[in-house]
């Protein structure tokens, strides 16, 4: 079962997802999506590699692998020069995600003159331990807008990492390793289409 208190450990892959409070939306206009990704790059890219993301109007899905101990210590020591060991790296990583979501909330509240929390109190995280689950999770995340009836094909939704896998443009998505799991771009597209047709919903 996913847990909101499971520690985020170095070199471990997770499915991370969270939802807006009540009937709120996380994104009201395109600029909200762009701002979210800019802040994501600032806060999360230093501590995790991203294999997939999908931003929906009222919830988000991420598939990320935390960076190794050496990379994490280097980053956090810039913020905390007296950091000695790695015993609390999981707590520091979780705090980084919380700071990211809180920062987005503050900007969102200021833009729309609202108050209070925007996201649910804790974000969910589920460790991904089976290699066979990696490609299925990426395809599930990219097909999320299809499952919710927003589009008929993953490529029609503009706010996901699906396009980063098919274009040769520079990206911070771990595209090359992700494509290796699928066996190339053609297989990447094929798996997404197969899971869409079967309307596969992973156990969250």
pLDDT digits (tens, 9 = 90+) for 18-65: 999 989 999 999 999 999 999 999 999 999 999 999 999 999 999 999
- Whole-number pLDDT of residue 81: 64
Torsional sign, CA 65, 52, 3, 93: positive
Fill in the DSSP letter of residue 5: S
Contact between 20 and 119 (Cβ < 8 Å):
yes
pLDDT at residue 1 in the model = 43
Residues whose CB falls within 8 Å of the CB of residue 202, separated by 6 or more in sequence, listed in order? 136, 137, 140
Chain segment 114-130, per-residue pLDDT in tens: 999 999 988 999 999 88
Please provide the DSSP assignment of 64-91 as one string: EEEPPHHHHHHHHHHH-TT---STTHHH
Sorted by sequence, the CB contacts under 8 Å of residue 17 that are 6+ apart come out as 59, 60, 61, 62, 123, 124, 204
CA distance 182 to 197: 18
- C-alpha angle with apex 92: 115 to 54, nearest 5 degrees? 60
Average pLDDT over residues 141-155: 94
> What local confidence, expressed as pLDDT, does residue 198 receive?
60
Q: Which residue has the higher pLDDT, 89 or 82?
A: 89
Name the band, by pLDDT with cuts 50, 70 and 90, for residue 77. confident
% residues pLDDT > 90 (the chain): 73
Determine contact, residues 25/57, Cβ cutoff 8 Å. yes
To 10 degrees, what angle do helices 185-198 and 175-182 make?
70
Report the alpha-carbon distance of residue 34 to residue 11 in Å, rounded.
28
Write down all domains in the chain, each with its CATH number in brackets. Answer: 13-130+159-175 (3.30.70.1290)
- Which pLDDT belongs to residue 36? 98
At 193, the pLDDT band (50, 70, 90 cuts) reads very high
């Amino acid at each position: 079962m996913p847990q909101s208190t499971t520690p985020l450990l170095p070199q471990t892959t997770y499915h991370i997802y969270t939802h807006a409070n009540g009937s709120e939306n996380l994104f009201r206009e395109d600029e909200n999506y762009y701002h979210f990704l800019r802040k994501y790059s600032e806060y999360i890219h230093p501590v995790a590699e991203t294999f997939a993301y999908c931003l929906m109007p009222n919830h988000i899905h991420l598939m990320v692998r935390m960076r190794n101990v050496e990379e994490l210590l280097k980053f956090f020591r810039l913020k905390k020069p007296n950091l000695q060991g790695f015993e609390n790296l999981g707590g520091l990583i979780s705090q980084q995600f919380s700071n990211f979501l809180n920062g987005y909330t503050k900007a969102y509240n200021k833009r729309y003159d609202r108050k209070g929390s925007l996201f649910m109190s804790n974000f969910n995280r589920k460790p991904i331990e089976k290699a066979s689950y990696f490609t299925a999770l990426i395809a599930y995340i990219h097909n999320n807008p299809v499952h919710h009836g927003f589009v008929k094909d993953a490529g029609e939704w503009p706010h996901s990492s699906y396009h980063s896998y098919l274009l040769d443009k520079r990206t911070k998505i771990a595209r090359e390793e992700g494509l290796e799991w699928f066996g190339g771009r053609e297989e990447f597209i094929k798996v997404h289409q197969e899971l869409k047709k079967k309307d596969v919903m992973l156990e969250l």
